[in-house]
Amino acid sequence: MNFPRKTMKPKYRQDTFLQIGSAGAVLSLLFLANCAASDLDWQEASLVTTGDLRYNEVQQKSSHNSFQRHEGLLDQLVYHRIRSVELDIYRGKFGRPGLSDDWYVYHIPFIDTGTSCDRLSNCLQELKVFDQQQPYHEIVTVWLDIKDGWGDSQTPAAFDALVSQYIDKDDILKPSDLFAACPGATSLKQTVVGSCRWPTLDSLRGKWMFVLTNGAYSNNRPDRVGFSTGTASNTNDVDNSNRIFLNQGDANNPLSRYIHAQRLVSRRYVVDTQNDFNSALSGLVHHVATNKVNFHRDSWSKTHNSAGWPFKCITSCGTSAEEEVVIGIQVNSEDIWDRGDHFHFLHQTMGTLNGRWSAAVNSASSHIDQWAKGCVMARASTASDSPYFAVCRPADNKKLRVQYRDNYGSNSSANDTDIAHADGLDQPNLTYVKMDVYNGGKCAAGFGSQDGERWTRIATRCFNHTLVLQGIAASSHGNAEVKHLFTNLSYWGNIQRKAAFTESDIGTVRSARAFDGSFP
């Protein structure tokens, strides 16, 4: 059973250019002239195929209570290679107004209410951004724990409608899709057993799946956008259920192997030690739910391969990769700050000094120096004390910011701000940066965004020096190696690859390397 693979191409975001006098008008014309050409850079790449490998034939790391991890949703998906996340949703929250057609996201009332995305709609905004960034991603499974049931306006139909506002229904694997692919099936379980099977991973690229813990959501009705899961404690629970997704709260490997043998899909939680993680893998658990998101900190807590492909095959499989448009920089340096800078610089010497640069920047975002930085930058020279303008995402727990140095040898200054249109989202987890260089390379404006479509201006600065070198910069702020990922890096909307840049180490750089993709 296969489904047509998603074929949409990413759309260049035609946001409004900053208008500043006649220079702004000229740049707007240049921008419009380049819009059509930008589409040429989005060629559908030749994907590394996984052949006939099916959804139930791989295992994957699953983020437990994904809204509550130190790593934001986007960093979990982009940097930490996770394709299985979990959200706890409630109809109400103490001290907060009631909601209509939406849900609050948190763990336990009164006791444990912290979250990186306040409402389900906020979390879905972040998932939508990932879908726009990487439209050929491997299928993402979203587990939703319905904590307090349904209400008058917070109904299963309202849930479906909310999800469909952010994720195109055609990009969601639904019960109806499984029934359509298995004519004659009278139960959901029959759509994946016998002569019918789960779809292949190749056919699920760019797709999503939503699995809810509340059986009253659908009883796996074909007309819902998601599935209901069951709980399995013994083989009778498996045999007597029509569920094709089964949760396990204990380490019962014979049961998880039995679930796999029935071609059903298991999820085990919470798996937070190396022994338990390895045991779950040997027990053929499909979704291994853990709080240990950062694979640098807990190197055992991963299922991705050396190319970043997020799954582990239950049987052997070849080297697979996921299509993405990313430039990575791994660096060990001092800081971009004070009177001299220390970082790795990928730059172009601009013939046309006016330009627009944008990217989404992701890092480990936990167990890392919070002032390590990934930036788009314009600079007068490669001297460490050169004038510069940069729009940066600090690596952890800091907001998007603009940094600049006005003159050679002067101190650096910074502006950071809350990004508009991101109400309900944790500001340090926002990823989009943009830099507009104008006035013949002597002025620059920096912007931040949650979604790469709506931008907030952070700061504007003009210089006595021409900012002739433009590109991306990465620092680690201390004697440790840090990796920054720049997704969909573009100049005037045209995607840039590593080969387009000259590389320079500025100041104290102990080691550095740049590469196309998420891993060297």
Written as one string, the DSSP assignment of 450-488 is SSSSS-EEEEEEE-SS---EEEEEEE-SEEEEEEEEEEE
| pLDDT of amino acid 24 | 37
Nearest to 472, CA basis, from 454, 488, 448, 450: 488
Q: Give, for 416, the enclosing helix (H) or strand (E).
A: strand 413-416
| pLDDT of amino acid 398 | 97
Q: Per-residue pLDDT for 341 more than 50? A: yes
Helix (H, G, I), strand (E, B), or coil: what is residue 65? coil
Report the interhelical angle of 253-261 vs 274-282 (nearest 10°).
30
List the structure tokens of 291. Answer: 């709080």
Q: Per-residue pLDDT for 179 more than 60? A: yes
Q: Give 351's pLDDT tier (boundaries 50, 70, 90).
A: confident
Q: Which carries the bigger pLDDT value, residue 141 or residue 50?
A: 141
Phi, psi of 57 (to 5 degrees): -105, 10
Q: What is the mean pLDDT of the chain?
A: 91
Q: Per-residue pLDDT for 333 more than 80? A: yes
| pLDDT of amino acid 436 | 98
C-alpha span between 163 and 257 (Å, rounded): 32
CA angle, residues 472, 389, 434, in degrees to nearest 5: 60
Q: Per-residue pLDDT for 64 more than 70? A: yes
Tell me the Cα Rg of the chain.
Answer: 24
pTM for the whole structure: 0.92
Q: Per-residue pLDDT for 140 more than 50? A: yes
Nearest to 62, CA basis, from 265, 358, 319, 325: 265
Helix (H, G, I), strand (E, B), or coil: what is residue 510? strand
In our burial notation (b when 16+ CB lie closer than 10 A, e otherwise), range 466-489 reads bbbbbbbbbbbbeeeebbbbbbbb
Q: Per-residue pLDDT for 193 more than 50? A: yes
Instruction: Report pLDDT digits (tens) over 154-174.
Output: 999 999 999 999 999 999 999
| pLDDT of amino acid 6 | 58
Q: Per-residue pLDDT for 48 more than 70? A: no
How far apart, in Å, do the first and last CA atoms of the chain sit? 35
Q: What is the mean pLDDT of residues 410-424?
A: 96
| pLDDT of amino acid 9 | 41
Q: Per-residue pLDDT for 418 more than 50? A: yes
Instruction: Report pLDDT digits (tens) over 420-448.
Output: 999 999 999 999 999 999 999 999 999 99
| pLDDT of amino acid 267 | 98
| pLDDT of amino acid 44 | 34
Q: Per-residue pLDDT for 35 more than 50? A: no
Q: Per-residue pLDDT for 58 more than 60? A: yes
Q: What is the mean pLDDT of residues 279-284?
A: 98
| pLDDT of amino acid 29 | 33
Instruction: Report pLDDT digits (tens) over 454-478.
Output: 999 999 999 999 999 999 999 999 9
Q: Give 2's pLDDT tier (boundaries 50, 70, 90).
A: low
Q: By the 8 A CB rule, do 80 and 130 touch? A: no
Phi, psi of 492 (to 5 degrees): 55, 35
